[in-house]
Amino acid sequence: MPRIPHAARALPLLTALAASPLALQAATPAAPATTQASGAAAPATAKTTAPAATAGQASTPTVQIQDAWVRGTTAQQRATGAFMQITSSTGARLVGVSTPVAGVAEVHEMAMHGDVMQMRPVPELPLPKGQPVTLKPGSFHVMLMDLKAPLSPDTPVPLTLTLVDPQGQRQTVTVQAVVRPLGR
């Protein structure tokens, strides 16, 4: 894995500047110019913001999830679908989903094979920058399998999504999905 040292080196810088890519362009030329007048101020600021940004990375939500819901199940049912709308402000890939109510959670897509509609796992779902991606019945969905108990409308289902942003930063987001009764 020869890429890891390079990525690791770039990571703190990207993290520190994630809020505004323009900050890098603005700060770099400004540093030599201010060296004579107040040179001490610029490096001091840079040093304090870098660790703060790294420590606060989990609290910077770049992904919005709306209308998360799960189809309710009967006592005999071992699988169901979860649906939602995901919008990433930075662009990202959805690489995994987990939930305590199911042994397995996978992102699936529906596709026609001949005249039969089938579903298959998608290793990662691209989330284009600023564009809502809708997971819905008959399309992309989260498949919950090995259900541990029937899902009823009075108990929300926590879903934890793992996303990777364009810099390779991993982020997890947990939403409480509403359980809709069967037949709706």
One of 14, 104, 119, 182 touching Cu ion (CB under 5 A): 119
Of residues 107 and 179, the one with the C-beta less far from Cu ion: 107
**Count of residues binding Cu ion (CB under 5 A)?**
3
Which two structure tokens, joined as six digits, stand for 155?
Answer: 């108990």
Instruction: Write the DSSP assignment of 41-79 as a string of letters.
Output: HHHHHHHHHHHHHHHTGGG---EEEEEEEEE---TT---
Please give the helix or strand (H or E) that residue 128 lies within, else none. Answer: none
Stretch that binds Cu ion, among 13-21, 33-41, 142-150, 160-168 (CB under 5 A): 142-150
One of 108, 159, 175, 177 touching Cu ion (CB under 5 A): 108
The 3-state DSSP class for residue 28 equals helix
* Shortest spacing between CB 143 and Cu ion, in angstroms: 3
Q: Does 143 bind Cu ion (CB under 5 A)?
A: yes
Cα separation, 42 vs 108, in Å, equals 49
User: Footprint of Cu ion on this chain (CB under 5 A)?
Assistant: 108, 119, 143
